[in-house]
Amino acid sequence: MADAALRLTTLAEELLGAPLPVRIRAWDGSEAGPPGAPTLVVRHRRALRRLLWRPGELGLARAWVAGEVDVDGDLYEALDLLAGIFWERGGERRSAVRAVRAARDPRLRAAALGLLKLGGPLPPPAPPAEEVRRRTGPLHTKRRDKEAISHHYDVGNDFYELVLGPSMVYSCAYWDEAGTLEEAQRDKLDLVCRKLGLKEGDRLLDVGCGWGSMAVHAAREYGARVTGVTLSREQAVYARKRIADEGLTDRIEIRVQDYRDVRDGPYDAISSIGMAEHVGRVRYREYADQLFSLLVPGGRLLNHQIARRPERNESAYRVDEFIDRYVFPDGELAPLGRTVATLEDAGFEVRDVHAIREHYGRTLRAWVANLEKAWPEAARSTSAGRARVWRLYMAASAVSFERNRIGVNQILAVRSPGSGGSGVPLRSRDWR
Ligand SMILES: C[S@@+](CC[C@H](N)C(=O)[O-])C[C@H]1O[C@@H](n2cnc3c(N)ncnc32)[C@H](O)[C@@H]1O
């Protein structure tokens, strides 16, 4: 049995039609692959079942979540190398389907079955408990969105506190001058307030308010009166307590409410930070119309949103399979141009686009470092599987931002009045 790693490497290379860029160490202690490269540790023969049952990204993710595979060495480098297997230049996905097709080749099947037999009979692989089953039916109904949000955000505030740190901001920070995550998150919130031109007494709507960080910052530092909406009950409970502790209850209201149900406009400004990724292509125009209708003439929207590179294939707007099943069910990423065009179609005047993807790579690395530092506690506060999901998704996302597979942009848009005066200062040096 001492050749498990070599047999696995050979099979993987045949399936992929390319050399495996990482080393493999198998459960029997055998090793194969390029010397010095990060090592994919296959801890248990059960991993073979998952990898061969569903070759590609999902099989690998399932084995990872179940704790059957791990990385020895630099996690980011390993993920970068592995991502290269699934992506080709130009950002088009090298479909795992190709590997599945190849697995129908009788010679490869025989090799795969031989590998499976190595460890003796095993029950068929059940997906780890943290996986969301593939769902059918229309995307982005209010009910379905609520369930999807609950999967991601109602995993326990304690867990998020460990990962995000005291700022409890779950979106890209701004590292222009900051040295710590806390400072960078504060600077991001302040940047948004400045772009929105907030003044004492302004009504701000924060859609997708998370744990209330933007609401607190805008009320405390700018004297704004804020309404925050989130679909997550756990977030709302946390945000309300925090607001009470800060003595800001007279200035901030937090609601568990869908952005589509907000009716009490007009607002002077709207912030949407890290929420539009949940909206979906079919609803995006409705989202833009809704935010437009909630603003006073001259009111500003700051839309802070992850974008994917433009692709010919429309289905590519859905997030990758691992992310869809384990992290953000039904999440969708649109290219920047489409988002800008939709905001314009809804009547907005787009005044500024600030691309900050490098800042997200750094933010994600800080979250991964927090998680790794508090690993036993983090696994206890949720489950070991979920903690592994978060570590993998955040590290892989960091690499995706750094490699320009995805980006993140702050778009400043104004409901400019008929007279044409946008109210945006001639000098924007203050916030750039
Ligand atoms: C990535 S978090 C960002 C939270 C916060 N803005 C921050 O930067 O920390 C996304 C937020 O969007 C909210 N959300 C997603 N879909 C929503 C919807 N349809 N209506 C209201 N909130 C929604 C989630 O509940 C969550 O609070």
**Is residue 86 in some structural domain?**
yes
CA distance 297 to 290: 14
What whole-number distance in Å separates Cα of residue 26 and Cα of residue 45? 8
Residue 127 forms part of a structural domain: no
318 and 189 in a common domain: yes
In a domain, 319, yes or no: yes
Residue having the nearest C-alpha atom to atom 14 of ligand 1: 208
**How many domains in the chain?**
2
| Domain presence at residue 125 | no
Residue 189 CB less than 6 A away from ligand 1: no
**185 & 326 share domain:** yes
Indicate which residue's Cα is closest to atom 18 of ligand 1. 258
Sheet holding 225-230, edge to edge: 252-256, 225-230, 203-207, 267-273, 295-308, 406-414, 349-355
Residue 313 has a pLDDT of 64
Nearest CA to ligand 1 atom 11: 208
Q: Looking at the domain assignment, is residue 131 inside a domain?
A: no
- For ligand 1, whether the C-beta of 172 sits within 6 Å is no
Indicate whether residue 145 lines ligand 1 (CB < 6 A).
yes
Q: 141: which residues sit within 8 A by CB, 6+ positions away?
A: none
Q: Closest by alpha carbon to 297, among 348, 228, 226?
A: 348
At residue 42, the 3 state secondary structure works out as: strand
153 CB under 6 A from ligand 1? Answer: yes
> Same domain, yes or no, for 220 and 108?
no
Q: φ, ψ for residue 412 (rounded to 5)?
A: -100, 120
Residue type, 337: G
Q: Are 179 and 201 in contact (CB under 8 A)?
A: no
Clarify whether residues 349 and 232 are in a common domain: yes
Q: How many other C-beta atoms lie within 10 A of the C-beta of residue 269?
A: 28
User: Which numbered atom of ligand 1 lies nearest the CA of 168?
Assistant: 9
Q: What is the CATH number of the domain that holds 216?
A: 3.40.50.150
Output the six-digit token pair for 179.
């040295």
275 CB less than 6 Å from ligand 1?
yes
Would you state the structure tokens that stand for residue 324, as one six-digit string?
Answer: 């869809």
CA 371–ligand 1 middle distance (angstroms): 21
Mapped onto helix, strand or coil, the DSSP state of residue 102 is helix
Ligand 1 centroid distance, CA of 391 (Å): 20
In this structure, are residues 259 and 140 in contact, taking their beta carbons and an 8 Å threshold? no
Distance 206 CA to ligand 1 centre (A): 9
Question: How far, in Å, CA of 169 to CA of 181, rounded?
Answer: 10
Please indicate, yes or no, whether residues 192 and 102 belong to a single structural domain of this protein: no
For residues 114 and 168, membership in a common domain is answered with no
Residues 197 and 299 in one domain: yes
Instruction: Name the residue of 206, 229, 278 to mutate for ligand 1: max ligand atoms within 8 A of Cβ.
Output: 278
Measured from the CB, is residue 283 less than 6 Å from ligand 1? no
CA of 267 to the centre of ligand 1 (A): 19
- From 88, 119, 150, the end of a domain falls on 119
ipTM, 2 dp: 0.99
Q: Are 424 and 415 in contact (CB under 8 A)?
A: no
In a domain, 47, yes or no: yes
Query: Is 284:317 a contact under the CB 8 Å cutoff?
Result: no
Least Cα distance to 397 among 313, 320, 287, 330 occurs for 320
Final residue of a domain: which of 85, 119, 153?
119
Q: What angle do helix axes 96-103 and 4-16 make, rounded to 10 degrees?
A: 110
Distance CA 287, CA 290 (A): 5
> What pLDDT was estimated at residue 315?
60
**Does ligand 1 lie within 6 Å of residue 232's CB atom?**
yes
67 and 173 in a single domain? The answer is: no
230 lines ligand 1 (CB under 6 A): yes
Pocket test for ligand 1, best of 142, 145, 149 (most atoms within 8 A of CB): 149
Give the range of the structural domain holding residue 60, as residue numbers without chain letter.
4-119
Strands 349-355 and 267-273: unpaired
Whether residue 353 sits in one domain with residue 395: yes
Tell me, in angstroms, the distance from the centre of ligand 1 to residue 229's CA: 8
Q: Identify the domain boundary among 119, 150, 182.
A: 119
Rounded to whole angstroms, how far apart are CA atoms 402 and 415? Answer: 33
Q: Is the residue at 124 inside a domain?
A: no
pLDDT single digits (tens) 228-243:
999 999 999 999 999 9
- Residue 260 inside a domain? The answer is yes
Q: Is the CB of 197 within 6 Å of ligand 1?
A: no
Q: Residue 234 has what pLDDT?
A: 94
Does residue 197 share a domain with residue 316? yes
Ligand 1 mutation target, pool 167, 230, 363, 364, most atoms within 8 A of CB = 230
Is 357 found in the same domain as 245? Answer: yes
Q: What is the pLDDT along the chain (432 residues), one digit of tens a residue?
A: 458 899 889 888 887 777 889 999 999 999 999 999 999 999 988 888 888 777 677 888 889 999 999 999 999 999 999 887 765 433 344 444 455 555 567 777 777 777 777 755 566 677 888 888 777 778 888 888 888 888 788 788 999 999 999 999 999 999 999 999 999 999 999 999 999 999 999 999 999 999 999 999 999 999 999 999 999 999 999 999 999 999 999 999 999 999 999 999 999 999 999 999 999 889 999 999 999 999 999 999 999 999 998 875 666 666 778 888 888 888 889 999 999 999 999 999 999 999 999 999 999 999 999 999 999 999 999 999 999 999 999 999 999 999 999 999 999 999 999 888 999 988 777 776
Q: For residue 231, which of 251, 205, 260, 199 has the smallest C-alpha distance?
A: 260
Same domain, 90 and 147: no
Q: Cα dihedral angle (260, 265, 271, 276), rounded to 10 degrees? A: 10
Question: Using a 6 Å cutoff on CB, does residue 287 contact ligand 1?
Answer: no
* Cβ-Cβ contacts under 8 Å for 76 (sequence gap 6 or more): 365, 395, 398, 399
